[in-house]
Amino acid sequence: MLNETGDATLDCVTIEHNGLLCDPALAGEVVEQVALALQKRGDWDEWVLSGVDRSVSETHYEKIAARLGWAVNTFGERPWYVVGLDELRGGGDNQLDWLSVNTRYQVRRALKEYGKRGEVKIEFARSAEEALAFFDRLKKLHECYWQARGKPGAFGCEFFEIFHRRLIEQEWPTGGVHVSRVSAGGHEIGYLYNLVHARTIYSYQSGFNYEHDAKIKPGLVSHVLAIQRAIADGFDAYDLLAGDAQYKRSLATHSETMRWIRLRRPRLAFRLEALVRRLRDRSRDGVKTGLNRAQLRSATRFRTDRLPNHRSLPPLTADESDKVA
């Protein structure tokens, strides 16, 4: 596995934009050398790469796999959405023009409603201690929303909080994380926890103060203010990461795809797995494929999750499946 442990209690931090740590200009050469080194070893069957940008997967990993005779098994794809800030910079006083008419209307209406309570603003933590205090409030709002729906949310995994509190302590002094509070007067609207690297802001986690009033849109307002601040601060992109949530589609200027793939050496177990999957798929549509009862029983007798190295696409994190409003 690449940058994962295989232990769900540790991998709950969720890897995206996965890859080898190297100069992007040298990525092709580095991937090739790593693959050639792996080819000489006999102690592995498959290399699992989660959350790899499709362009990187096709250009580097899948290309070397074909050269070495490895099979490429794609076990998941998800869109990821980005706000290209350079495209929005210099747009004049109205920095909502990139939004659709409907989204722009919702944001303006929400800002007007919040404005009745006081100045609507985004504040970034001014110290690591304040960043951790903001993170605590984010957690409370996040859990309030998800636990009301019978789900633990992202903080249901103990390691998740341990990891990110330590990351905030380590990275806040160098600007590697942004933890911010959005408010209207004394009213909390929401909190954002974003990662920062190479002039890109990655929207990682959030907690919003939801209300029953449909005109109130804490998520959209928080992200819009964060995007406007990122434009003013000279960042190049605001990355909403993987997941096909409506708010990401509403805010993004473009989207791409991430892949979850396995690079597999020629193994009998993998050929058997592929056969079982084909039989299973045929059994689901036995009438159309002409399978008789005996063939259907034979096809459904197998369990693909009992085969070695079975791995499915990890579930969406709480914010990825949420419709932020």
Domain boundaries, the chain: 90-233
DSSP conformation letters of 189-203? EEEEEEEEETTEEEE
pLDDT for 300 equals 47
Q: Return d(Cα 90, Cα 138) in angstroms, integer.
A: 32
pLDDT for 211 equals 93
From residue 248, alpha-carbon distances to 64, 165, 210 in Å are 33, 26, 18
pLDDT for 305 equals 45
Pair type for strands 200-208 and 237-242: parallel
pLDDT for 280 equals 86
pLDDT for 321 equals 43
pLDDT for 89 equals 81
Q: Return d(Cα 114, Cα 116) in angstroms, integer.
A: 5
pLDDT for 306 equals 43
DSSP conformation letters of 183-244? EETTEEEEEEEEEEETTEEEEEEEEE---S-TT--HHHHHHHHHHHHHHHTT-SEEEEEE--
pLDDT for 313 equals 56
pLDDT for 278 equals 84
CATH topology of domain 90-233: Aminopeptidase (3.40.630)
pLDDT for 319 equals 53
pLDDT tens string, the chain, 325 residues long: the values are 999 999 999 999 999 999 999 998 999 999 999 999 999 998 999 999 999 999 999 999 999 999 999 999 999 999 999 999 988 887 655 678 899 999 999 999 999 999 999 999 999 999 999 999 999 999 999 999 999 999 999 999 999 999 999 999 999 999 999 999 999 999 999 999 999 999 999 999 999 999 999 899 999 999 999 999 999 999 999 999 999 999 999 999 999 999 999 999 998 888 888 888 888 888 876 655 555 556 545 544 544 444 444 455 555 555 544 445 5
Residues 6+ apart with CB under 8 A from 123: 180, 181, 182, 183
Q: Return d(Cα 178, Cα 310) in angstroms, integer.
A: 37
